[in-house]
Amino acid sequence: MNLQRQTSCKIAVLLGTSVGFSVHAAEMVKVNDNKLLFQSLRAQSTSITPLETGFSEIKKVVLPNGKTKVRYQQTYLGVPVFNTSVVATLSNNKPSDVYGVMAKGVNRDLPSITPKLSEKEAILAAITSHQILANNNHNIENKNAKLMVKLDDNQTAKIVYLVDFFIASEHPERPFYIVDAINGDILEHWNGLNHAKASGMGPGGNIKTSEYIYGLDFDGLPISKVGTTCTLENAAVKTVNLNNATEGNTAYQYNCIDDDNYNYFRYVNGAFSPLNDAHYFGNVVFDMYQDWMNTSPLNFQLTMRVHYGSEYENAFWNGSSMTFGDGKDRFYPLVDINVSAHEVSHGFTEQNSGLVYKDMSGGINEAFSDIAGEAAEYYLRGKVDWIVGSDIFKSEGGLRYFDQPSKDGQSIDHASQYYDGMNVHFSSGVFNRAFYLLANKPNWGVRKGFEIFTLANQLYWTANSTFDEGACGVVKAAEDFGYTFKDVENAFNSVGVDASCGSPIPNDNVLIKWEPITDLSGSENSKTYYIFNVDKASTVMVSMAGGKGDADLYIRANRKPTTSAFDCSSNRSGNDEMCYLYAQPGITYYVLIHGYTRYTKLTLRLD
């Protein structure tokens, strides 16, 4: 027992709902049980076979304040469970502040996880279904199938394959299919090709931006050179000239006979060299993620493919590379800093939260890429215009707007305007505007806003996150960084999104002034909550005393406290604890009694 534990006040992290296992079929539940995760991880370390309920580490993040956060995906008999995520703070190899969502009762639906279909058969079923729906037979690339457990709309657990592939054509697609691994039925499908619907700049810029020269107006292009051959490639980024084709993966090479290593290739549609722009901006995006988040945007080299198709007015991420068209009437070549960061960040999202590219999760997916575009613009220039793709848009304005998304005539400003099936580019307006409002608050800014949205993507968002769930993740990320989470909640409230993380207000356990609650007891690591309100502003004291054991006291305004997220705490040895705070009317104060060890006969009071 630590005899030096002292009273302290700070603001930090997390809340959750404990897991209780019912006799019903499978269902998704929220998790905040430290012991559940710890015991599972400990059992996994000594087991030679997969556990029925396990957790696989998929991301570890060390924050600037030294805190280590780990994201786990639930497994069932070793198979990943779709749309599950549990996040914990890791200290001395022990998890705490656990929060997330997992599936319970899977074993009642799935006594076995042995598929009847092979990966090849699942891919064939998906491709066949797509060819029937799309009535085409184009070249198919990048075929993938991953065995998973997924709860369907009726909360029945099924063993499935998540299948995706890329179709290279003048109208490229990247279909995703959920295929039943037992009978081959198509359970769900969506198009995951992440289009930017924006435009890009050229090295040397374009007619709208005016020409500039890399190496004079900006830093030089980071290239490779062997003899008199220069290649647009380095450890971080490779840039490919598709030369109006739809396939190709070879880094662009050119003859460079002097130390200038000058690349003139090639002027198109008002842009002086989209290849140079793509290469330069790709490296800017890589550096931003590395400098600000201490991570690479992708777990492999960035590939920027330029001059896709003929007069193609779009850009996309296909699961392995970023691809940019040359534009035509509406856009200059689509290689500006916004679009470059946008497409790279679709890859970041796919390799982290895996937000499904439809419904609300698709809107969050698009918004994160837009946000990354503005962040990269700020990283490069030290300022932002809050317009997506203004440099490549041939008319005035741009593709999307952060201050008022509805300026484009289609995007929404508020969650109340959302409807099922809305285009993800238009529903992105909700999170875009929330980011804009947050970044423009005092003591915030573009970088701090990007940090918490990115950490939410790494740790808290799941495949099917709703607006409320996504906002909750951003709030938790703000707490992890030690930023003012209330500003985040207010920004989301302004666009109709509830970022409170669904914190329930207890119907009982009300603490009343001068009416002590006696004979309280709890086990080690138990959590017992009370609430209180005041009629007028005053200084109050919450105290505990008596009995045996060691319980600690935590208080927080408007949200449940945890052992690391509180407004006031008292955690001395024994049960004698007290907290003073200035309480105000209209605020609900949450009190947590945490069992540091087992305790009995404790008295709690408000004075």
Domains 27-109 and 119-191 agree in fold: yes
Locus of tokens 């105290």: 543
What global pTM score does this model have? Answer: 0.68
What pLDDT shows up at residue 204? 67
Q: How far apart are CA 284 and CA 278, in angstroms?
A: 10
Distance of CA 369 to the CA centre of its chain: 11
The answer to whether 343 is a known catalytic residue is yes
H or E element, residue 540: strand 538-545
Encoded amino acid at 322, one letter? M
How far CA 211 is from CA of 267, 276, 327, 508, in Å, comes to 11, 12, 18, 68
In CATH, the number for domain 119-191 is 3.10.450.40
Q: Average pLDDT per run of 10 along the chain, which is 607 residues long? A: 33 28 65 79 77 88 85 94 91 83 90 94 93 73 95 89 88 89 93 49 74 82 84 92 96 84 92 96 96 94 97 95 97 97 97 96 98 97 96 95 97 93 96 98 97 98 94 95 93 90 67 92 87 91 94 87 82 93 88 92 94
Catalytic, 425? Answer yes
Asked whether the beta carbons of 254 and 239 are under 8 A apart, the reply is no
Instruction: Report which residue type is found at 501.
Output: C
- Integer CA distances (angstroms), 427 to 291, 413, 420, in order: 30, 8, 10
Catalytic residue among 425, 451, 469, 594: 425
- pLDDT of res. 277: 96
Radius of gyration of the chain (CA): 27
Helix axes 446-459 and 429-439, enclosed angle (nearest 10): 130
Res 202: pLDDT: 29
pLDDT of residue 135: 64
Cis peptide before 559 (omega within 30 of 0): no
Identify the architecture of domain 27-109 in CATH.
Roll (3.10)
What are the C-alpha distances in Å from 307 to residues 241, 310, 331? Answer: 6, 8, 13
Which residue out of 173, 233, 343, 377 is catalytically annotated?
343
Q: Assign a CATH topology to domain 517-606.
A: Jelly Rolls (2.60.120)
Give the residue extent of every domain in the chain: 27-109, 119-191, 224-494, 517-606
* DSSP assignments along 482-496, one per residue: T--HHHHHHHHHHTT
pLDDT at position 18: 36
What CATH code is assigned to 224-494?
Answer: 1.10.390.10
> Strand order of the sheet with strand 229-231?
224-226, 229-231, 253-255
Quick one: pLDDT at residue 516? 92
**Both tokens assigned to 93:** 């190899």
